Amino acid sequence: MKWITRERPKIDRIACPWLIKRFIDPEAEIIYVPFSDVINQADRLKAIPFDIPDVEYTHYEGQCTFDYFIKKHKLNDPALTRMAAIVRGADTDRHDFAPQAAGLEAIFAGLAHNIKDDHVLLELGMTIYDGLYSWAKDLYHLKHTQAGPAEQMLLEIFNRYINNAGSSKTPEWVAELKSLIQDQIDTNLSITLKDLSKDLDVNPSYLSREFSKYFDNLSYGEYIRKLRIDRAVDLLKTSKYSLTEIAYLTGFSDQSHFTRIFRQQMGETPSQFKKKLLKSKKDSKS
């Protein structure tokens, strides 16, 4: 989906694209154009306009566009609520809304002064807001005597994020997710990542985006299919179930679907695999 707003972003027009890409529309295309061209270009490109007057996604009653995105898309995440106060304070020059607002405004004012390419600024802004979200989720409770002044805290979060971008440390939710999947894979054939995210208390969009990093570079669907094929191989080796029964027991809609996925992952059909198993057993007895 395409989203369009006025050029030369600073705070809200970077915060909103971050929110869109991280929680609403991961494949979103963000377009910046001169203010006078936003509506015409939105019609021409079939893009959704935001953060300009007289459109749906804009400021309302002292709240900024970031607030409206959260409300409209029902993003019930306490960390986003904390971020919203900071973004609102920075974007409306009301630093009494959150002590961190002044720091955020100073950072983006300086970046916008130095960076003239809107998309380069957006890319860096995505990283900064990732850091701010981590603070709002995990570090907000620290006192200033523990973490330093609000402005310095934002810079520290940003630097920590950059320095740890290649870190191999695995988040705690990964082990818990693996355990949940293993517990439910045999009994809950319709298990979804959205369902699991509720058990983990992790945003489903974030979980979907991060999943492949910790699960063999596989998407959630690919990983579940792999587990089901592994289970099918085990049943082929240790049981006398028919292929139709194995397909049913491992969560495939029918034997044809089971055969196709099995061939993709194993390089041969279940029938061919089973024949090899039987031949191997006969050879071992002779």
The DSSP secondary structure of 27-47, one letter per residue, reads T-EEEEE-GGGHHHHHHHHT-
CATH match of 172-285 with 1.10.10.60: yes
Phi, psi of 76, deg, nearest 5: -85, 70
Query: For the ranges 73-77, 218-222, 252-256, which has the lowest average pLDDT?
Result: 252-256
- Helix, strand or coil for residue 51? coil
pLDDT of residue 145: 45
User: Residue 32's closest CA among 10, 54, 53?
Assistant: 10
DSSP 170: P
pLDDT of residue 68: 96
pLDDT of residue 218: 86
User: Residue 58's closest CA among 122, 5, 132, 112?
Assistant: 5
pLDDT of residue 12: 95
On the question of pLDDT at 185 being above 70, the answer is: no
On the question of pLDDT at 189 being above 60, the answer is: no
In this structure, how many other beta carbons lie within 10 angstroms of the beta carbon of residue 11? 25
In this structure, how many other beta carbons lie within 10 angstroms of the beta carbon of residue 166? 6
Query: For the ranges 188-192, 203-207, 233-237, 249-253, which has the lowest average pLDDT?
Result: 188-192
CA 22/CA 20 separation, integer angstroms: 6
Sign for the pseudo-dihedral over CA of 43, 46, 51, 54:
positive
pLDDT of residue 156: 56
Parse the chain into domains and list their residue ranges: 2-163, 172-285
Q: pLDDT over 90 for what percent of the chain?
A: 47
Give 108's pLDDT tier (boundaries 50, 70, 90): very high
pLDDT of residue 160: 53
CA gyration radius for the chain?
Answer: 25
pLDDT of residue 188: 55
Contact (Cβ atoms closer than 8 angstroms) between residue 267 and residue 233:
no
The residue that leads in pLDDT, 11 or 148, is 11
Name the amino acid, one letter, at 68.
Answer: Y
On the question of pLDDT at 136 being above 80, the answer is: yes
The residue that leads in pLDDT, 148 or 15, is 15
Tokens at residue 138, please? Answer: 């995990």
CA-CA distances (angstroms) from residue 214 to 170, 190, 209, 223, 248?
A: 8, 22, 11, 11, 28
CA 92/CA 11 separation, integer angstroms: 10
The residue that leads in pLDDT, 45 or 148, is 45
